[in-house]
């Protein structure tokens, strides 16, 4: 086996491919002294790609489709040859999952051999493995990452809401019958007004009153959420189901884990309303906050 | 007072003819091909935490702030003459700045309103979660109550930017509320209801396309199961003051309501809404028929927007279901008096509308997650305006998200 000739005169001559990628070529050669033979390149490519994946995010433009959120991972690819950065290389990337959408780097590697790519998916059920799909660049250690938890790119406005208590309104006049509620019962007027504002309230007899719309109320065993489970202080949050899927588990910074159980027309976009049960004073104290949120699981 | 009279109180002189004179009845409001943005349009953008008013070409620029502090809820008046915003560092304060950036007023959102003691007055000091300039000089404050309603206050911004705002109306509550240009009437949308001055004036009925799942007959006191869903149980507990219906769901949860004639119980579970529509078949024998209807239409609500025509006598809301989206015009209809729908128009905007306001007698400006635009009711067309613009600052083009447009 000959090594690549310094002076080549025979035909076919290898194309003007950089030396480091000549491993795919072979052919006859003829030296100036008349000697010759078969050549082949034994300088296998030393080009390697190292991929690092940033933490998954939920892009700000992501909206829930089919109950799923869009998540994205930014990829940083460094191409080196024998430890030296290789600039000017256009890269193609591959994921091992068909459900991933890979966006190849828009630009060739920079002087530091670095290029940026991204991968997006609505299927967060398994890990993805990313590698470079170029014949002359190996990826000795493809990067593998889990899609969850994913951090929402935008912080959320975080507020709180409570369940109304009739015992807070005993100074208000009694009214009845109230549309939808038992005909023989009277309720304090301001309490009924507050139930319309908050959605639910606990009457003096312990029953839970719900505002159904159409100016009518009903009685329920607890304050139902939009997914028809009882709202629980410390668990339930109301969200925009276009931004956080219903029933999704989230982690709100400084607050901890909460589940997206409730919704309402007053909660739009990046707004989370935390259920405080009957703790009205604590809710007033909490006020308005701006907090980061992680999407944990469906 | 019934809802008819409520609406009549503020609808001083509804000119029904003016609505029906619009060539809308058979016209579907659809997007027209992209056109060049009118030169008069100005956009509000936030670049590196400062606000700028820029021309449609992104070149003529007025810098409105230069403090670099995080801005929230930046809003541009429809005529483009005022801009308002909040600073993260000032949770219950907002600022209003003139379009030339030279004059600025700082206002507190916590005014002593001297309002009557109601449940709504509990939320006078609730956290401010939004501001919006409406009309030429009115600012709407949104204070948080809960998932289904917020408290809305409307103030007139003084032309000299002095400290004192003038209150334009009593506070109102709903998902969103809008004040008429020329009166203190406030209309609100909440779920399937529309309120004017806190009085219910219109509610969505059982959707016409809701399918009937079951129809059962039952006697007072007896518990009957649905034939279609055996684990769904119904009981008429009495006919005292209406049909007293208790429904127990497959998971053991239940709901009770006293339903008046023509009424129904609505239960939404995830994306499906069930309607229990009872009618008394024989009062003496205590026999009631119940139709169970359902619609897979979790979004069968109004969008959280409501707009007053500039004449102040007609409301426009966006009525959305899985099947179609319509503009619903509401006002007093003199010919019948008992209904408020005076016109419906199909609207080819699939995404949820986040803001809607009349900027001219027949022009509705709107905003969605994806775009801004104007609905021309006379010509039946929708003109889109972009939500991104390249703004040229110091000869560097900066792609910028648009916060609002003014094309007056």
ipTM: 0.86
For residues A60 and B295, what is the distance between their CA atoms, to the nearest angstrom? 31
The answer to whether residues A273 and A264 touch, using CB atoms and an 8 Å cutoff, is yes
Interface test with B, best of A210, A265, A267, A277 (most B CBs within 10 A): A265
Q: Which domain holds residue B124?
A: 3-204+301-406
In CATH, what number is assigned to the domain containing residue B174? 2.120.10
Q: Write the CB contacts of A125 (distance below 8 Å, at least 6 apart in sequence).
A: none
User: Percent of chain B at pLDDT above 90?
Assistant: 54
pLDDT in the model for residue B15: 31
Shared-domain flag, residues B174 and B103: yes
**Each residue of B275-327: pLDDT tens digit?**
999 999 999 999 999 999 988 755 567 899 999 999 888 999 999 876 788 99
Asked if the C-beta of B239 comes within 8 angstroms of chain A's C-beta atoms, the answer is: no
Q: In what order do the strands lie in the sheet with B199-203?
A: B176-179, B186-190, B193-196, B199-203
Coil, strand, or helix at residue A229? coil
Give the closest residue to B311 by CA, choosing from B19, B21, B77, B25. B19
**Each residue of B88-118: pLDDT tens digit?**
888 889 999 999 999 999 999 877 667 777 8
Shared-domain flag, residues B221 and B148: no
Structure tokens at B408: 């007056």
- CB spacing of B147 vs A262 below 8 angstroms: yes
Q: Which A residues in the span 169-188 are in contact with B, Cβ-Cβ below 8 Å?
A: 169, 177, 179-184
- Asked if residue B22 has pLDDT above 60, the reply is no
Q: How confident is the model at residue A2 (pLDDT cuts 50, 70, 90)?
A: very low
Shared-domain flag, residues B235 and B198: no
Overall average pLDDT of the A224-250 stretch: 95
User: Percent of chain A at pLDDT above 90?
Assistant: 80
Where do the CATH 2.60.40 domains begin and end in chain A?
47-146
**Each residue of B335-373: pLDDT tens digit?**
555 556 778 888 988 888 999 999 999 999 999 988 999
Shared-domain flag, residues B38 and B98: yes
The answer to whether residues A59 and A70 touch, using CB atoms and an 8 Å cutoff, is yes
pLDDT in the model for residue A121: 98
Shared-domain flag, residues B119 and B253: no
Q: Are strands A71-81 and A114-121 parallel, antiparallel or unpaired?
A: antiparallel
Domain boundary residue, one of B295, B319, B347:
B295
The answer to whether residues B178 and B185 touch, using CB atoms and an 8 Å cutoff, is no
**Each residue of B30-83: pLDDT tens digit?**
555 545 788 889 999 999 999 999 998 888 899 999 999 999 999 999 999 999
Where do the CATH 2.40.40.10 domains begin and end in chain A?
156-161+226-297
Number of structural domains, chain B? 2
- CB spacing of B147 vs A219 below 8 angstroms: no
- CB spacing of B203 vs A214 below 8 angstroms: yes
Structure tokens at B326: 């319509």
Q: Is B350 exposed, middle or buried (0-12, 13-18, 19+ CB in 10 A)?
A: exposed
- CB spacing of A220 vs B369 below 8 angstroms: no
Q: What is the DSSP string of A103-127?
A: E--SS---TTSEEEEEEEES--SS-
Structure tokens at B368: 């969605």
pLDDT in the model for residue B24: 43
Quote the pTM value. 0.86
Give the closest residue to B144 by CA, choosing from A202, A287, A279. A287
Domain boundary residue, one of B236, B271, B295:
B295
- Asked if residue A180 has pLDDT above 50, the reply is yes
CATH class of segment(s) A156-161+226-297: mainly beta
Overall average pLDDT of the B9-13 stretch: 33
Domain boundary residue, one of B243, B278, B295:
B295
- Asked if residue B20 has pLDDT above 50, the reply is no
Shared-domain flag, residues B366 and B384: yes
- Asked if residue B10 has pLDDT above 60, the reply is no
Q: Is B88 exposed, middle or buried (0-12, 13-18, 19+ CB in 10 A)?
A: exposed
The shortest CB-CB distance from B147 to any of A180, A190, A273 is to A273
Greatest Cα pair distance in chain B: 84
Structural element, H or E, at residue A192: helix A189-198
Structural element, H or E, at residue A292: none
CATH architecture of A47-146: Sandwich (2.60)
For residues B243 and A111, what is the distance between their CA atoms, to the nearest angstrom? 78
- Asked if residue B149 has pLDDT above 50, the reply is yes
Shared-domain flag, residues B280 and B310: no
Q: How confident is the model at residue A41 (pLDDT cuts 50, 70, 90)?
A: low
Structural element, H or E, at residue B369: none
Q: Which B residues in the span 37-96 are in contact with A, Cβ-Cβ below 8 Å?
A: 88, 91
Q: Write the CB contacts of A33 (distance below 8 Å, at least 6 apart in sequence).
A: none
């Amino acid at each position: 086996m000959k090594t690549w000739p310094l002076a080549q005169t025979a035909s076919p001559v290898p194309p003007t491919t950089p030396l480091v990628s000549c491993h795919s070529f072979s052919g006859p050669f003829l030296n100036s002294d008349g000697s010759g033979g078969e050549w082949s390149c034994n300088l296998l490519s030393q080009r390697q790609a190292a991929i690092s994946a940033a933490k998954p995010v939920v892009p700000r433009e992501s909206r829930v489709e089919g109950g799923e959120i869009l998540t994205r991972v930014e990829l940083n690819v460094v191409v080196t040859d024998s430890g030296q950065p290789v600039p000017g290389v256009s890269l193609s990337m591959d994921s091992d999952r068909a459900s991933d959408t890979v966006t190849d780097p828009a630009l060739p590697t920079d002087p530091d051999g670095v290029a940026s790519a991204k991968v997006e998916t609505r299927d967060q059920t398994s890990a993805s493995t990313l590698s470079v799909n170029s014949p002359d660049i190996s990826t000795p250690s493809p990067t593998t990452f889990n899609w969850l938890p994913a951090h929402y790119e935008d912080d959320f406005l975080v507020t709180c809401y409570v369940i109304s208590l009739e015992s807070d309104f005993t100074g208000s006049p009694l009214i009845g019958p109230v549309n939808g509620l038992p005909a023989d019962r009277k309720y304090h007027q301001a309490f009924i007004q507050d139930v319309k504002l908050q959605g639910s309230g606990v009457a003096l007899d312990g029953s839970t009153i719900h505002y159904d719309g159409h100016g009518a109320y009903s009685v329920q065993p607890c304050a139902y959420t939009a997914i028809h489970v009882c709202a629980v202080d410390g668990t339930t949050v109301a969200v925009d189901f276009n931004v956080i899927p219903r029933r999704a588990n989230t982690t709100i910074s400084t607050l901890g884990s909460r589940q997206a159980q409730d919704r309402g027309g007053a909660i739009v976009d990046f707004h989370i309303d935390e259920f405080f049960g009957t703790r009205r004073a604590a809710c007033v104290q909490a006020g308005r906050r701006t907090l980061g949120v992680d999407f944990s699981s469906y | 007072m019934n809802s008819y009279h409520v609406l009549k109180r503020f609808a001083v002189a509804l000119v029904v003819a003016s609505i029906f004179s619009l060539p809308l009845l058979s016209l579907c409001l659809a997007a027209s091909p992209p056109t060049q943005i009118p030169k008069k349009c100005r956009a509000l953008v936030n670049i590196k935490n400062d606000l700028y008013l820029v021309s449609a070409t992104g070149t003529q620029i007025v810098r409105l702030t230069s403090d670099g502090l995080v801005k929230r809820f930046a809003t541009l008046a429809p005529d483009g003459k005022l801009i308002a915003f909040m600073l993260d560092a000032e949770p219950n304060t907002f600022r209003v700045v003139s379009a030339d950036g030279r004059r600025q007023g700082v206002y507190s959102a916590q005014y002593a309103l001297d309002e009557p003691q109601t449940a709504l007055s509990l939320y006078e000091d609730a956290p401010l979660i939004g501001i919006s300039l409406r009309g030429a000089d009115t600012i709407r404050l949104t204070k948080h109550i809960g998932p289904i309603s917020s408290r809305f206050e409307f103030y007139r911004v003084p032309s000299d930017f002095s400290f004192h705002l003038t209150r334009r109306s009593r506070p109102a509550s709903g998902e969103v509320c809008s004040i008429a240009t020329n009166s203190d009437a406030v209309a609100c949308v909440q779920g399937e209801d529309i309120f004017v001055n806190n009085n219910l004036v219109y509610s969505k009925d059982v959707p016409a396309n809701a399918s009937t799942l079951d129809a059962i007959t039952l006697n007072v006191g007896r518990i009957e199961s649905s034939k279609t869903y055996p684990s769904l149980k119904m009981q008429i507990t009495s006919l005292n003051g209406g049909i007293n219906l208790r429904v127990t769901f497959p998971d053991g949860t239940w709901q009770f309501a006293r339903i008046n004639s023509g009424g129904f119980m609505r239960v939404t579970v995830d994306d499906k809404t069930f309607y229990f529509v009872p009618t008394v078949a024989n009062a003496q024998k205590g026999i009631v028929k119940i139709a169970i209807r359902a619609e897979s239409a979790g979004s069968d609500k109004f969008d959280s927007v409501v707009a007053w025509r500039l004449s102040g006598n007609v409301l426009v809301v966006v009525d959305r279901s899985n099947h179609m989206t319509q503009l619903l015009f509401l006002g007093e209809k003199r010919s019948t008096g008992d209904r408020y729908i005076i016109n419906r128009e199909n609207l080819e905007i699939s995404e949820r509308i986040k803001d809607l306001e009349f900027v001219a007698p027949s022009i509705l400006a709107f905003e969605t997650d994806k775009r801004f635009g104007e609905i021309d009711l006379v010509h039946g067309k929708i003109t889109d305006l972009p939500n991104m613009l390249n703004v040229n600052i110091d000869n560097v083009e900066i792609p910028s998200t648009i916060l609002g447009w003014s094309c007056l």
